[in-house]
Chain A
């Protein structure tokens, strides 16, 4: 299915989905890059730099799809908006905090994103299905890596376990928002762009995760979240990150690179 074949409400919902996914990957990529040089071991400096590069690459591809659909410039989409204009899930409004916190956030995000990518793998919107096919192969490595870290912290003694469990408790309500806040997701499901509405994708994610959480005796999700999932209200932590990642561009918006 091409962009022209989509009815206006579906097209608009697709634009919202692409922007939300692109912003999720973009903002997480920048939080990941915060660990470069200060991760607990050298291997993790390398790993988080790679994860960041993957996510920012995925964001670039998704911003390009959005630009192809609605017009505009991918770089302008990525760097040209005020902090309130971003549509990432509020899970990504938290700062990197400590290592257990970053591991917990990434694990929750990666597993939720995996469920979302599964639901887009056979998308009727072919340009998206094509990019998702590539992303899924790369995300395999993210899942493996974060799962290994969750297991290591959960079984690594009292302190790492307590820190991981506390981070999960704190992050769960916001993690539910990764698969929320998409207007018109039911329309996308009817049109075959998305396999099923986001509430069903979320149930699939939680069902897949439950046995692992039970095995490691880690906290599970609350029944529901409250409040908006994707802004426009943003934390001071995200504003700080925005200042950082837009700094060079704002210093000379007309520069040609």
Chain B
């Protein structure tokens, strides 16, 4: 049997879809903090996107299921050690989001470290329409069908669309 490498593990992880937005994988979303492979022990640490995201356990279980058998011992854990931010979504992930009608998030400046949270009230989220590319869009609702989505309206192509929240 060929020895499993970390590259093999990352390739396997790239096949695990996000349960709520299945066009992107856990790797595209930047959910994988680290992969450790030594002495027959494979350990993967994942970052929760939102503290209250109901999909977290589903994500953890699907990663564990995909990696099962790749090493005698497989451990998959969630950690808050590094805060997940939407800036971790890869260029490839952003392209896939756009192609399936989700506007990718802008830079996650608000709520970042070292800035009083109250300053957030001056922030005005904006988005470019993933269908027609127009920047002439209106925020419809900061909250959407899942915790990570915001709803916009495109004034040019007259379509609603969702944006992945910038957090």
Q: What's the nearest-Cβ distance from chain B to residue A208, in Å? A: 5
The answer to whether B113 touches A138 (Cβ under 8 A) is no
**Among candidates A46, A117, A130, A134, residue contacting B143 with C-beta atoms closer than 8 Å:** A46
Secondary structure dominating the interface of A: helix
- Residues of chain B lying within 8 A (CB to CB) of residue A50: 143-144, 147
Complex Cα spacing A209 to B144, Å: 28
Within 8 A of A (CB), among B96-118: 108, 110-114, 116-118
- Residues of chain B lying within 8 A (CB to CB) of residue A191: none
In the complex, the chain B residue whose C-beta lies closest to that of A46 is B143
**Among candidates B51, B143, B165, residue contacting A61 with C-beta atoms closer than 8 Å:** B51
- Residues of chain A lying within 8 A (CB to CB) of residue B155: none
In the complex, the chain B residue whose C-beta lies closest to that of A204 is B116
Q: Interface residues of B toward A: which range?
A: 35 or more
The answer to whether A46 touches B112 (Cβ under 8 A) is no
Secondary structure dominating the interface of B: loop
The answer to whether A141 touches B143 (Cβ under 8 A) is yes
The answer to whether B48 touches A134 (Cβ under 8 A) is yes
- Residues of chain A lying within 8 A (CB to CB) of residue B108: 137
Q: A46-B144, A47-B141, A134-B84 are in contact. Are A58 and B52 (CB under 8 A)?
A: yes
Does B142 count as interface, using CB distance less than 8 angstroms?
Answer: yes
The answer to whether A135 touches B51 (Cβ under 8 A) is yes
Most buried by A among B51, B54, B108, B116: B51
Q: A114-B118, A140-B120 are in contact. Are A47 and B142 (CB under 8 A)?
A: yes
Q: What's the nearest-Cβ distance from chain B to residue A48, in Å? A: 8
**Among candidates B50, B116, B125, B144, residue contacting A138 with C-beta atoms closer than 8 Å:** B50
Complex Cα spacing A145 to B150, Å: 12
Q: A117-B117, A145-B142 are in contact. Are A57 and B80 (CB under 8 A)?
A: no
The answer to whether A138 touches B83 (Cβ under 8 A) is no
Complex Cα spacing A135 to B147, Å: 13
Within 8 A of B (CB), among A42-73: 43, 46-47, 49-51, 53-58, 60-61
Does B81 count as interface, using CB distance less than 8 angstroms?
Answer: yes
Within 8 A of A (CB), among B143-167: 143-145, 147, 150-151, 165, 167
**Among candidates B52, B123, B151, residue contacting A56 with C-beta atoms closer than 8 Å:** B52
Task: Report 17 cross-chain contacts, Cβ distance below 8 Å, ordered by A residue.
Answer: A47-B142, A50-B143, A50-B144, A50-B147, A57-B52, A61-B51, A114-B120, A115-B118, A121-B113, A127-B80, A134-B80, A135-B51, A136-B111, A137-B111, A138-B50, A140-B167, A141-B143
